[in-house]
Amino acid sequence: MKGISKKFGRSGGPAMTLQNHAVWIAFNCLWVLAAATLYARTHRTHVLFGALTLLIPLAYYASYLLATSCHNYRIMYPSTVFVQAVSIVSIGGCVGLGLQRCRAVFQTAVGLS
């Protein structure tokens, strides 16, 4: 098992994506923008709550960057796991709801319908 873990860690691709915090910070920013845009279009309070909740990991990242001068990125792990969970649940929800319904929600959010 240890050998598989080491091989996966050196493989680049999936391991790099899961371990690279910059990818998940970008995802977090995209989720906040999508939720804020959807709230601006629909004025639903649960969407505003979601957007505000997604600001918590960004604040955590920012506080880490301001508070430390070392490269100990493991402290950013809780925020990364939160964003990964939100991403997986959201994508899984779209698959569960059906792509047509998710497309309709997205089009409403960006003003295409």
Segments forming the whole domain that contains residue 84: 2-110
d(CA 9, CA 4): 9
Mean pLDDT of the chain: 74
Does residue 86 or residue 74 have the better pLDDT? 86
Which residue intervals of 11-98 are DSSP H helices? 13-19, 21-42, 45-67, 77-97
DSSP state of 27: H
Taking the whole predicted model, whether its pTM rises above 0.75 is answered as no
| CA distances (Å), origin 96, targets 88, 92, 102 | 12, 6, 10
Q: What pLDDT, on a 0 to 100 scale, did the predictor assign at position 17?
A: 55
Q: What pLDDT, on a 0 to 100 scale, did the predictor assign at position 80?
A: 84
- Structural domains counted in the chain: 1
**Exposed / middle / buried, residue 93 (Cβ in 10 Å: 0-12, 13-18, 19+):** exposed
Residue the block writes with tokens 């997604």: 54
